[in-house]
A and B are shown apart, each in its own frame.
Chain A
Amino acid sequence: DAGVTQSPTHLIKTRGQQVTLRCSPKSGHDTVSWYQQALGQGPQFIFQYYEEEERQRGNFPDRFSGHQFPNYSSELNVNALLLGDSALYLCASSRLDRVHGEAFFGQGTRLTVV
């Protein structure tokens, strides 16, 4: 079992550009959540996808959008990048029917905006 995989692991972008991050969930999981972890902070929830639809959303602007594919993999898109978007972006997968099952995290994508 490969667990949750994210790509790329590191990325450097220029302010104003757009970026796409990718996530493959753990085998058997149907739900993908995205988190942003700024330096010295805990992960902050961006949104969650289930059945190819955004199910929950955190307090992030519309510049942050996502998608889930029929194979449950997911993408996070960020438009018009700001310096403040520099962070570790974490993907977590879970099974929606496992109410008290834990979420499994990928290793993250380190995004640096210059």
Chain B
Amino acid sequence: DQQVKQNSPSLSVQEGRISILNCDYTNSMFDYFLWYKKYPAEGPTFLISISSIKDKNEDGRFTVFLNKSAKHLSLHIVPSQPGDSAVYFCASPTKGGATNKLIFGTGTLLAVQP
């Protein structure tokens, strides 16, 4: 049972344009969501998070939107840069906070073309 789904395995975007990465979840008990970025040969690094009491959280070029009724979240990167090329995972803790068991999506490979 895939509780967190990322249906786009890959995305290609031109440098300077917007990248939109999508994530859907099925468990209505999820109340906190995180995005991680992963470069080859490195571990995932935390990017941005959002609590279910909010519908938007912004940090520099990165914004995460949460639509609870649709059980959908998206990560917007504006403007996209070649260094953003990586695999992006959305994740949610099964209960409590992010220090608990995280359920990850399968990831989206973002390629930003110069």
Q: Which residues of A contact B (CB under 8 A)?
A: 4, 31, 33, 35, 40-45, 48, 56, 58, 90, 92, 94-96, 98-108
Selected from B42, B102, B103, the residue in CB contact (under 8 A) with A107 is B42
Q: Are A98 and B97 in contact (CB under 8 A)?
A: yes
Q: Are B99 and A96 in contact (CB under 8 A)?
A: yes
The answer to whether the Cβ of B11 comes within 8 Å of any Cβ in the partner chain is no
Q: Are A42 and B105 in contact (CB under 8 A)?
A: yes
Q: Are B43 and A99 in contact (CB under 8 A)?
A: no
9 contacts between A and B (CB under 8 A): A42-B107, A43-B104, A45-B101, A45-B103, A90-B43, A104-B46, A105-B44, A106-B43, A107-B42
The count of A-to-B residue pairs whose CB atoms sit within 8 angstroms is 72
The answer to whether the Cβ of B32 comes within 8 Å of any Cβ in the partner chain is yes
Q: Are A33 and B101 in contact (CB under 8 A)?
A: yes
Selected from A33, A90, A99, A107, the residue in CB contact (under 8 A) with B97 is A99
A14 to chain B, nearest CB (A): 24
B104 cross-chain contacts in A, Cβ below 8 A:
35, 42-44
Q: How big is the B interface, by class?
A: 20 to 34
B:41-64 near A, CB below 8 Å = 41-46, 49, 51
A100 cross-chain contacts in B, Cβ below 8 A:
32, 49, 51, 97-98
Selected from B51, B97, B100, the residue in CB contact (under 8 A) with A56 is B100
CA gap between A44 and B106 in the complex, in Å: 10
Nearest residue (CB) in B for A104 is B46
**Residue-wise interface mask of B (1-30) relative to A, using a CB-CB cutoff of 8 A (1 in contact, 0 not):** 000101001000000000000000000000
